[in-house]
Amino acid sequence: MKAFKYIFILILIVIIGGAIYFSLKDGKYDITESRIIAAPPSLIYDQLADFKEWDNWNPWLEDEEITSTMGTQTKGVDGNYSFTDPYGNGKMTITGIEPNKYVAMNMFYDNGMTSSNSDVIMDLERVENGTKVTWNIKSEQGLLDKVMTTVLGFNMEDEIKPKYTAGLENLDNYVNNQMSVHQVHVDGIIETGGGYFLYMSSSTKREKLQIVKSQMLQNIMSYMNRNHIDMYGMPRVVYEKIDPTNNSVLFSAALPVENREITATNSNILSSYQEPGKAVKITLNGAYSNLAEAWRKGEEFISQNGLVKAIASPYEIYKTDPMLTPNPADYRTEIYIPIE
């Protein structure tokens, strides 16, 4: 009997000692992974604020042993989904949002013996080359969790950080694939109407055209605002000369107006009139980086149909405002190549 008594006391000492040891062991974890994605915050936020969109990039769903079930509400505060893995089940719930800034969540997990709650946040910060996405999870393990992770040699950072890295890479690829979607359609020969416009002219390298064009259009718009002149159509660029050898272009950025406007003699903003005529029209739905493809298809149409280009300069009309259209896949540009 004494032997059993001593064994019991020894076991009790081990249990008490182990409990003290593990209770003093730091169970806090705070894991962060970041990635800069070349996309505006609004496009990324749309992927984060609705759990249905997580199916596009969630790294855990690549594991066939993990299943997920969407809640009745998946978007915004209280949006949620549940998941089951080989070790237990959990639930993700959105607890706070600020559009284009962050999505905060709670992750509840139950492995059958213990349960835990973790704070998860995905933060968005606009940077020079796009958006910096920071994914963070933090919590503190209970006593039993600390015992189990120590005995099993389980390290939270080793388990979570690679998944966060893969998830952000998946998110990057998905968003950029969505932004690259485009379509070119040759509309054929149309009659173009005439009209007045205010314009500025410049020359630049092709790779700087979009930046210079935007600056010039802003200058024209400011002039029109100061002089209470209304815009009477969408912005355009008229190509006076393209030099493939030097990769440069001489062009005018223009805004249509209703009537002839007389500008100051020394002003770099001028007024002109476009004569009516015929042109081959090409429509691009997609990013400006696809304009070369659209122009090529227009040139092919002219060649295949034995058409002759007119002396008048070709031009592009921008039907969408990039400031109001976050996804370049939604841009619409019309190209007009005048013909005789």
pTM of the entire predicted model: 0.79
In whole angstroms, give the CA distance from residue 329 to residue 340: 33
Q: In this model, does residue 17 exceed pLDDT 70?
A: no
- Please provide the DSSP assignment of 150-210 as one string: HHHT--HHHHHHHHHHHHHHHHHHHHHHHHT--EEEEEEEEEEP-EEEEEEEEEEEGGGHH
For 240-274, letters b (16+ CB in 10 Å) and e give eeeeeeeebbebbbbbbbeeebeeeeeeebebeeb
The one-character DSSP state at 114 is: -
Q: What is the pLDDT of residue 155?
A: 60
Q: In this model, does residue 141 exceed pLDDT 80?
A: no
Confidence of residue 71 (pLDDT cuts 50, 70, 90): very high
Which residue is associated with the tokens 């950080």? Answer: 161
- In the chain, the percentage of residues whose pLDDT exceeds 90 is 71
Q: What is the pLDDT of residue 21?
A: 39
pLDDT in tens, 42-54: 999 999 999 999 9
pLDDT in tens, 22-68: 344 445 778 899 999 999 999 999 999 999 999 999 998 888 889 99
- Which of residues 87 and 136 earns the better pLDDT score? 136
* Strands 315-318 vs 88-98: parallel, antiparallel or unpaired: unpaired
What is the side-by-side strand order in the sheet with 277-285? 183-192, 277-285, 332-339, 315-318, 236-243, 248-257, 195-205, 270-274
Confidence of residue 157 (pLDDT cuts 50, 70, 90): low
Q: In this model, does residue 147 exceed pLDDT 70?
A: no
Q: Which amino acid is at 120?
A: V
In whole angstroms, give the CA distance from residue 239 to residue 307: 19
pLDDT in tens, 202-218: 999 988 998 999 999 99
In whole angstroms, give the CA distance from residue 280 to residue 299: 9
In whole angstroms, give the CA distance from residue 198 to residue 50: 44
Q: Where are the beta strands (DSSP E) in 206-247?
A: 236-243
